[in-house]
Amino acid sequence: EEAGPGKHFLGTAHTLRHYTTAFHQHKAFSMDNYEKWEEEGSVDSYKKAYGIWQKMLRDYEAPPLDEATREELHAFVAHRRAEIQAGRPRSGWESSKP
């Protein structure tokens, strides 16, 4: 028997054969055993998640935006900034689109 007293099923041939299709492993969580996790620096899920977030920010590419939409967004932001600076609550925004 591959898994028995003092052993675990995670390293068995059957588990390794089916692991990639039977389980979902998020990048922020280690599925390694404790010893391997410790050897690799004992990085907890918070640090891993922070690293993933930082990479997402570094790699972000803004989606294409047509010029009319971009202009309308800039006008809306300018309008809201003026309202906020004047201490006025949000008023209705009239879209330039029909």
- 10-69 per-position pLDDT tens digit: 778 888 787 777 666 788 888 888 999 999 999 999 999 999 999 999 999 999 999 999
In tens, the pLDDT along 58-98 reads 999 999 999 999 999 999 999 999 988 988 766 665 555 54
Handedness of CA 82, 86, 90, 95 (dihedral sign): negative
Is 40 a domain residue? yes
Is 14 a domain residue? yes
d(CA 22, CA 79): 52
Domain count, the chain: 1
pLDDT at residue 5 in the model: 79
What the block records as the tokens of 9 is 């099923």
Whether the Cβ atoms of residue 19 and residue 35 lie closer than 8 Å to each other: no
Give the range of the structural domain holding residue 39, as residue numbers without chain letter: 9-59
Is 65 a domain residue? no
